[in-house]
Amino acid sequence: MRNFARALWVVSLLLCFVLQSPMAIHAQTGLVDSDEFYQRNVRRPRLPDYSQKVDDLLKRMTLEEKVGQMTQLTIAMIISGQDQNAKIDPAKLEKAIVKYGVGSILNVADQALTVDHWHDFINQIQAAAKKTRLGIPVIYGIDSIHGANYVQGATLFPQEIGMAATFNPELMKRAAEITALETRAAGIPWSFSPVLDLGRDPRWPRFWETFGEDPYLSSVMGVAFVRGLEGTDVASQQQVAASLKHYMGYSFPLTGRDRTPAWIPENYLREYFLPAFDSAVKAGARTIMINSGEINGIPGHVNHHILTTILRKELGFDGFVVSDWEDIKKLVTMWRIAGNEKEATRMAVMAGIDMSMVPLDYSFADHLLALAKEGAVPMSRIDEAVRRILRVKFELGLFEKPGADAALKAKFALPEYRQVSLDAARESLTLLKNTDNVLPLSKTAKVLVTGPTADSLISMNNGWTYVWQGSEEALYPKDRHTIRRAIEAKIGAANVTYVPGTRITRKPGPSNSTPTDQDEEVDIPAAVRAAQNADVVVLALGEGSYCETPGNITDLTLGAPQLKLAEAILATGKPVVLVLVEGRPRIINQIADGVKAVLMAYNPSHEGGTAIADVLFGDFNPSGKLPFTYPRTPNGLINYDHKPFETENTAFGNMAFKPQFAFGDGLSYTTYGYSDLRLSKSEISGNEELTVNVTVTNTGRRAGKESVLVFVSDLVATISPPNKRLRRFAKVSLEPGQNRTLTFKLRRDDLSFIGPDNKPIAEPGEFVVTIGGLTQKFTLK
């Protein structure tokens, strides 16, 4: 009877989805409203209560079995061989699953595997788990960052920074749904995503993994990612458990270098870095991965205040917390806050770590077992962690269906998924400059395509693509267009000349560490000669691939060989269209004024080449908006929501705010007019809502999509207020001449800030609403 009731519940949810599909509604209305989307998707689904089952199982477990559940190992610990020749080693598997009772395995055997290879791995692992005394299934985790990027043939999407530029959470949700299905099709039920770190410092090498610099945009897109991954029933064979990372403050190290110290006052931490995690927890995310750095001298993995007081008691998170790679060991070797690994284990577990990504030995299990027997870690704390882990395993349906579902192969890598990826790439592309309407280009033009990112799928994808660093060209598909190949397909190879000019090569890092990218000249004179015979030059510059610490750099300025190529091409006098394929904004002030157009592509993935050609030649009207502030100089790192006095008191030496491109910039092949900005009241009090209306008109000759951004400024506050804050956005489709009045609702929490006592407060005073250059003032009583 219980199974019948659950089945009826699931069917009713599916019917609701089919009859009220948000993507279908958007197609009909041409509008995605951030607040409507957020309120609809942030509500946590009602999952079955497994408390009794969890408690019954917990009572039967030995201490050793409980410690095993808190242990996570990498796949390397149970296989032999490498890459596509990797196989499960029965003896190693027996040791991990039977002897130690390991509760989780993660990662990939060096590179992406086929669906069948994954099925073999997962089924053998779960078969071994089933033979244990209690038959507790293993939860397998993988980094599905921009699609199921460790499964060969999976659909890949733009990296998060590009998805943010779409300002389209419905599109983000659909991409995450496909990611979940294709990850689960491989037999993997848990993804280490989304990244909810805030991209407020472009020096940070994981900048491209974020949704940009604004907490509201990150919150909405983060909820979209979580809902897409987990759906309304995470036990469905088409969903996976999310893991929010890296909780929190990881992305704001003082030096900009990965895994170096951050100094963040708690009110600032709560104001900017907590909201996206808070929202995703409200949406029901089942797991969280911890900041692999430190804040104010306290490593994330021992920060009880953040892991327990804030996360558990304030946010109400009831899933489980997993460490990042080797980070308990690093409490000894890197942070030096523990004298030995045993003490580090105690500190981390007592702070709130439920599962340790050990992942290369059995030290965590051995140490925790000893600590428990000594009473240094109470059994109540171990039971608490294991209860959380078991609950998620029940919620995922692993006790009923632990292995891979062969039937899902029929839903893997379908053509319609590729179309979603193309839609996402197109909507992410951000036109930042278009002097004299040089774009769109004529399809009869003679075009020189040059630059190191022009013929590279690696650059269009970046890290977390088939291998950790995304750097193995042989693993990339042969049937996806680079920028060069897409332009050739668009206007004919006879009209295109390709000369690389420079290249990005990978060379070993210091002391033979992970290789890093370096710019090199190839044939700049040849590119100059080719430019002289072209009508226009498409100059594709940017970065190769990198991830985490190997992506650390000491200067945001674009590499000297690339700048030399650009200046040489500009000297020919031919119109230059600059396409930036990069994971973070590299400084281009040396060449930005000389080029006719700038198209920001971010890391648009496999369909990026086609999307770029579609925009360059007018087959798609760009609608992306910049989700961060693009700096003009290496030290000009000021966010859009800076304090007014940072840029206004120029008489005292402060510089004017003049980024290369501003947050929210993004041009179109049509034009939009904003008018009739109206507020429902000039004064509000208590918990009253403020209704904001504005009319947007397509004043040009082409249909297009416009992202309408709603900013609010608090003019006077106890803590010096920022210049403005994004509080709402909507993406609207308009035909030529069409207008539409949009309505936004602002609530009291949209007018609040984190006060000196680290609590939100909305103070009486004057506020300004700004939309599309229009402003209206109101007063909060």
CA gap 762, 778 in Å, rounded: 14
CA gap 729, 428 in Å, rounded: 16
Full strand arrangement of the beta sheet holding 597-600 = 430-434, 597-600, 576-581, 536-542, 447-450, 496-499
CA gap 116, 677 in Å, rounded: 57
Is the C-alpha dihedral spanning 550, 552, 558, 564 positive or negative? Answer: negative
In 522-667, at which residue ranges do the beta strands (DSSP E only) sit? 536-542, 576-581, 597-600
CB atoms within 10 A of CB 203: 21
CA distances to 479, 502, 525, 530 from 496, in Å: 19, 18, 18, 10
- Catalytic, 324? Answer yes
Alpha carbon 375 to its chain's center: 41
First to last CA, the chain: 55
- Helices and strands per DSSP (H, E), number in the chain: 25, 31
CA gap 496, 361 in Å, rounded: 54
Q: From the candidates 33, 324, 354, 714, which is the catalytic residue?
A: 324
Ramachandran sector of residue 456 (left: φ over 0; alpha: ψ -120 to 50; beta: rest):
beta
Q: What is the DSSP letter of 559?
A: P
Identity at 645, one-letter amino acid code = F
Structure token pair of residue 119 = 């099925």
CA gap 561, 522 in Å, rounded: 9
CA distances to 510, 565, 573 from 594, in Å: 36, 13, 9
| Secondary structure of residue 321 in the 3-state scheme | strand
Active centre residues (catalytic): 324
